[in-house]
Amino acid sequence: MVLSMNVNAILLVGCLLVPPLANASEFGNVYGSPEIENASRQASASALEAIENILRGLRERESQQGNGSEQFRAAADLLLQARTVFGRLLDMPDLPDRPISEPEASRLVAGMNSEFVAASIRRAKTTKVLLFELQEQSGALAEVLGAVADSRQPIYPQISARLRDYMALAEVVTVVNRPR
């Protein structure tokens, strides 16, 4: 069965499913020293470029201008770069790490359209644990993209939930790390 969705519809659905917790320019950002903020922005920019490539690959398939495999492989590489930089962030000794209170976790989970992200929030006891989860999910999404990049089968059903969860998790990371 051919999945018929254009990129604008995908973006619209993604925006509706991801709660508006942070600004788009604050995708998975962590705040602190200039070194921390620069690394965070570098990882975030790689992740956003990966998402852009995923959408380009889907558009290429939808318009029958190709199979999108180059864009999906590029997205996987960018997500692996993001994972590496998120890992460097986690190793920085001055990375802020504060507890996530039960009321804060409940507030974040309320209205969450992703059971995966809601469970991640409930499990996480600190902001650093959520950043670690984002690092892990960067690698997991890259792995899925690498595995399906050359597939002739519809890819969107295989990546849509992961992509939505990834975007929601990045927003939650930003919200919990925002200076108080």
- Whether 110 is covered by a domain: the verdict is yes
Q: What is the domain count for the chain? A: 1
- Whether 3 is covered by a domain: the verdict is no
Q: What is the pLDDT of residues 21-57, one digit of tens each?
A: 444 447 888 888 899 999 999 999 999 999 999 999 9
- Whether 164 is covered by a domain: the verdict is yes
Classify each residue of 90-99 as buried b or exposed e, where b means 16 or more C-beta atoms within 10 Å of its C-beta. Answer: beeeebbeee
Q: How far apart are CA 76 and CA 114, in angstroms?
A: 22
Q: How far apart are CA 53 and CA 123, in angstroms?
A: 31
- Whether 142 is covered by a domain: the verdict is yes
Classify each residue of 30-61 as buried b or exposed e, where b means 16 or more C-beta atoms within 10 Å of its C-beta. Answer: bebeeebeebbbbbbbbbbbbbebbbbbbbbb
- Whether 133 is covered by a domain: the verdict is yes
CB contact at 8 A, 81 and 105: no
- Whether 17 is covered by a domain: the verdict is no
The pTM assigned to this predicted structure is 0.83
- Whether 5 is covered by a domain: the verdict is no
Q: How far apart are CA 108 and CA 174, in angstroms?
A: 12
- Whether 11 is covered by a domain: the verdict is no
Structural domain boundaries, residue 51: 31-177
Q: What is the pLDDT of residues 64-115, one digit of tens each?
A: 998 999 999 999 999 999 999 999 999 999 999 999 999 999 998 987 788 9
